[in-house]
């Protein structure tokens, strides 16, 4: 299990093999989070800490050998809107890079709506994911 807290933003990331998800979530905070499941077809979602992560992509998706990354914050500004925006942008970025996605749709469609206020947070999330050994 890996934990990276940022000094440069309100975000942190926790990462572990998908099989350790229960243990990973035991260390989670209360509040919203955005998550990335690095399976053969990448899946990104968001929700509260009690979210059943991985339930929407099915057993055949290769979850057993995948890793999960939880992006979280203890700051109250990281709310449902912020978590959903981060999810949508990570999906858009993966789509633009040609990474196979398990997500059925792009939340913003073909023409993403960008928020100048939140884009710096998206960029910081990408850096934290890299530090946490997310290789794609």
pLDDT band at 50 (very low <50, low <70, confident <90, very high): low
| Distant-in-sequence, close-in-space partners of 6: CB < 8 Å, separation ≥ 6 | 12, 124, 128
Residue that is written with structure tokens 């710096």 in the block: 120
Q: In what order do the strands lie in the sheet with 12-17?
A: 2-5, 12-17, 67-72, 32-38, 43-48
pLDDT of 72 > 60? The answer is: yes
pTM assigned to the model: 0.87
What would the mean pLDDT of 69-98 be, rounded to a whole number?
Answer: 93
pLDDT band at 106 (very low <50, low <70, confident <90, very high): confident
The distance in angstroms from the start CA to the end CA of the chain is: 18
| Distant-in-sequence, close-in-space partners of 34: CB < 8 Å, separation ≥ 6 | 44, 45, 46, 70, 71, 72, 83, 86, 87, 90, 125
Helices (H) and strands (E) in the chain, counts: 3, 5
The percentage of the chain sitting over the pLDDT mark of 70, rounded to a whole number, equals 87
Average pLDDT score, the chain: 85
Could you tell me which residue, 132 or 106, shows the higher pLDDT? 132
Q: How far is CA 122 from CA 16, 27, 84, 85, 90, in A?
A: 21, 23, 11, 9, 8
């Amino acid at each position: 299990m890996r934990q990276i807290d940022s000094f440069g933003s309100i975000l942190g990331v926790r990462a572990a093999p998908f099989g350790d998800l229960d243990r990973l979530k035991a260390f989670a905070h209360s509040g919203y989070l955005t998550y990335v499941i690095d399976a053969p077809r990448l899946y990104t979602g968001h929700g509260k800490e009690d979210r059943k992560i991985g339930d929407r992509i099915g057993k055949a998706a290769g979850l057993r050998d995948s890793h999960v990354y939880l992006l979280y914050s203890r700051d109250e500004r990281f709310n449902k809107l912020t978590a959903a925006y981060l999810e949508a942008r990570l999906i858009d970025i993966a789509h633009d890079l040609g990474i196979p996605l398990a997500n059925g749709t792009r939340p913003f469609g073909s023409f993403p709506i960008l928020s100048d206020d939140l884009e710096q947070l998206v960029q910081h999330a990408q850096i934290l994911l890299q530090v946490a050994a997310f290789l794609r």
